[in-house]
Amino acid sequence: MSISTFAPGRVEILGNHTDYNGGVVLSAALHLGITATGEKLPDGLVELASGDMGNVEKFDRTKGLQRTGQWTDYPLGVAEMLARAGAEAGGFAIRYESTLPTGAGLSSSAALEVATAALLMKLYPFSLSRMEVAKLCRRAENEFVGVNCGLLDQASSVFGLKDHLVFLDCRAESVKNIPLPSHFGLLIINSGVKHALVGGEYNERREQCFEAARHMGVEALRNVTMAQLEAAEMPDLAKRRARHVVGENERVFQAIEALNSGDGELLGTLMTASHRSSMDNFQNSTPELDLLVELAIKQKGCLGARLSGGGFGGAIVALVEMQDADRVLFEVKKTYEAQTHHEAAGYLCRAGDGALPPDGSGA
């Protein structure tokens, strides 16, 4: 008998590059994501197929799994981490269907991991808290796939809630869902310029953040205020990187207050400030992302916009009044495509549900 699970992609709303610095993030799960449909196979046998890729890839886990550099590393990594956690998933066949654009920075990899974990935990019943699932999927990506991401993508895919943002505190490893008023839409516009997270820039930025934390004698940049950072002695580049991260943490807390008082203007302003900090301090934007943000924030009904996710390409997210969303997208697309000759694919999203329903533990 086959079973299906769905795990959404995510969009980062605020809190850029804060997750691996013990910081705070606001994100949303999307209505776009990956559906995994699978069934049991005899022990050790694994068959993976993707709607997009055609072929069925076959593996025998009794012979040990090696990373191949293909998309199959993500599900295999999850099976491996489940086994390490004591949940031996026997054999399985899974077919994946995706509605997520790849390379847009909407975390198709986390959706792939989380959909796999949710499915395997149904095929071979095993109970883990939602936070444990998110962390296990991140471990699969860090240790098996070999990408040093933080917890944001997996946690958003697990903990999303319709019409709510996900507030993730990476130091406390806790999540709260915060209502997003229904007249706001999240307009995602892909710059059409490829994002390659496995590339060195992400790891380089990470190292620079850790370097700043070392200079300040703290375990993570989360433990630093802006005043302390500005007063500290350290190389200019490390300080600029840290300024972005510390500023992002501050903006996330301000955004939560803005959401609590229904102040969409302020939320939008904080998002645009985040983008400016990416441009000036973290230098993880691109000319295309900058252009998309400038075009978006000029439009009536757009409250703010910023790059979302790792950066170095991918998509922006704009906070828009639902009633104006189509016009904002039309205007931005028209000018962007005329100026850059890249396609600007747009997706109007509302915050959607995560892969795992609340388990009541609050974990």
Which residues of the shown chain bind ligand GLA in the complex (CB under 6 A)? Answer: 12, 16-17, 19-20, 149-150, 152-153, 309-310
What is the Rg, in whole angstroms, of the alpha carbon atoms belonging to the chain? 20
Smallest CA-to-CA distance from 99 within 345, 357, 356 is with 345
Shortest reach from residue 306's CB to ligand GLA, in Å: 11
Set 73, 153, 163, 236: catalytic member: 153
Shortest reach from residue 328's CB to ligand GLA, in Å: 24
Cα(101)–Cα(36) distance, rounded to whole angstroms?
16
Is residue 326 flagged as an active site residue?
no
Measured in whole angstroms, the distance separating CA 308 from the mean position of its chain's CA atoms is 8
Beta bridge partners of 25: 168
Look at phi and psi of residue 140 and say left if phi exceeds 0, alpha if psi is from -120 to 50, else beta.
alpha
In the chain, DSSP assigns E strands to 3-14, 24-41, 45-50, 56-60, 91-98, 164-169, 174-179, 184-190, 302-307, 315-321, 345-349
Q: In the complex with ligand GLA, which residue's Cβ is closer, 304 or 310?
A: 310
Shortest reach from residue 135's CB to ligand GLA, in Å: 12
Q: In the complex with ligand GLA, which residue's Cβ is closer, 168 or 295?
A: 168
Q: In the complex with ligand GLA, which residue's Cβ is closer, 37 or 272?
A: 272
Cα(270)–Cα(252) distance, rounded to whole angstroms?
8
Shortest reach from residue 333's CB to ligand GLA, in Å: 24
- C-beta neighbour count of 236 within 10 angstroms: 7
Q: Which two tokens stand for residue 209?
A: 């953040």
Shortest reach from residue 331's CB to ligand GLA, in Å: 28
Q: For the residues of 194-228, what is the DSSP string, one character each? A: ---TTSHHHHHHHHHHHHHHHHHT-SSGGG--HHH
Beta bridge partners of 141: none
Cα(74)–Cα(109) distance, rounded to whole angstroms?
7
Shortest reach from residue 309's CB to ligand GLA, in Å: 4
Query: Residue 303 in contact with residue 264, Cβ under 8 Å?
Result: yes
Q: In the complex with ligand GLA, which residue's Cβ is closer, 38 or 150?
A: 150
Q: In the complex with ligand GLA, which residue's Cβ is closer, 76 or 147?
A: 147
Query: Residue 298 in contact with residue 289, Cβ under 8 Å?
Result: no
Which residue number is nearest to ligand GLA in terms of Cβ? 149
DSSP state of 234: -
Q: In the complex with ligand GLA, which residue's Cβ is closer, 21 or 37?
A: 21
Q: In the complex with ligand GLA, which residue's Cβ is closer, 145 or 328?
A: 145
Token pair 């019943």: residue = 125
Shortest reach from residue 152's CB to ligand GLA, in Å: 4
Looking at the annotation, which residues are catalytic? 153
